[in-house]
Amino acid sequence: SYELTQPPSVSVSPGQTASITCSGEKLGDKYASWYQQKPGQSPLLVIYQDDQRPSGIPERFSGSNSGNTATLTIGGTQAMDEADYYCQAWHSSTVVFGGGTKLTVL
């Protein structure tokens, strides 16, 4: 089965750039999506098709995907960005999520 691997945690200082990686075999050949989830809330799509932002998502959120790694980058990280982030891809008509990364802004 296909797997996506994320670091369990990432820490960043306010105003700095946070990068969260997602690794999977030939992930660059697929589209990667990213979801933000804050405690007690439903997931929110923040990046789709590798690098596209849905309406309403701040410009500081960006994405890339090449080779075996997709990356979510948050520029000028704010306290409100502290959350769990999940990558997702399609594989053989099924959906795969990464294990999630807890982003701490401190």
> Which residues of this protein are in contact with other proteins, per CB under 8 A?
1, 31, 33, 35, 37, 42-45, 48-49, 54, 84, 86, 88, 90, 93-100
- Which helix (H) or strand (E) segment holds residue 88: the answer is strand 83-91
Tell me the C-alpha distance between 94 and 18, whole Å. 29
Q: What is the nearest approach in angstroms of other proteins to the Cβ of residue 41?
A: 9
Q: What is the nearest approach in angstroms of other proteins to the Cβ of residue 16?
A: 25
Which residue's CB is nearer to other proteins, number 12 or number 87? 87
Tell me the C-alpha distance between 69 and 35, whole Å. 16
DSSP code for 31: -
Which residue's CB is nearer to other proteins, number 17 or number 28? 28
